[in-house]
Amino acid sequence: MKKEYRTIINDVALPYKWALGRTWTRFFDGLKEEKILGTKCLQCGKTFVPARSFCPDCFVSEMEWVEAAQEGTIVTWTLVDAEYDGQTRKPPYVIALVKLAGTDCCINHYVGGIDLSDLKKVRQKLKEGAKVKAVWSPDKKADIHDIAYFAPVR
């Protein structure tokens, strides 16, 4: 005879301390100085932002630090208009993958400086390939939110 087990619903909090290591510590320290730092692979020449300790294409750790451009293009984006657990912002907001000029990958961040009062208009106006630039938070804490958002360049 098969035993039936009951289940209960419970909330689990899982505080986590994440070691940033040498590379990400320097990357975040750069943000505090309004610099977006990346690393350039000495073998293939690709530049990565956020900085990487090794090239994800060549798997070599011979990288040099570079200061990336603060402007780039939106590769893809999404408009978040629904609430769910764990959000750091109240919807609506836009998140995008931004490819900074001269880099070979994307950074994921908010897009701000846009009118979110009419979401239909946002969906019509915001386009892949749109030029954006970093807007800095006035209070910096050496974390990703030192960049408040990327704003469209008009």
Q: Which stretch binds Zn ion (CB under 5 A): 23-31, 43-51, 78-86, 136-144?
A: 43-51
Could you say which residues in the range 95-124 bind Zn ion, by CB under 5 A?
none
Among 25, 43, 61, 76, binds Zn ion (CB under 5 A): 43
Does 51 bind Zn ion (CB under 5 A)? Our answer is no
Residue 44 sits in the site that holds Zn ion (CB under 5 A): yes
Residue 66 binding Zn ion, by CB under 5 A = no
Q: Work out whether 58 is an interface residue with Zn ion (CB under 5 A).
A: yes
Out of 36, 37, 41, 122, the only residue in the binding site for Zn ion (CB under 5 A) is: 41
In the list 31, 37, 55, 130, the residue contacting Zn ion (rule: CB under 5 A) is 55
CA distances 145 to 34, 102, 136, 137, 150, Å, are 11, 22, 8, 7, 11
Which ranges in 92-148 belong to alpha helices (H)?
119-125
**If we measure between CA atoms, which residue out of 107, 111, 119 comes closest to residue 95?**
111
DSSP-assigned letter for residue 106: -
Answer yes or no whether residue 87 interacts with Zn ion by CB under 5 A: no
Contact 44, 65 (CB under 8 A): no
Closest alpha carbon to 101 in 63, 137, 144, 69: 69
Binding residues (CB under 5 A) for Zn ion: these are 41, 43-44, 55, 57-58
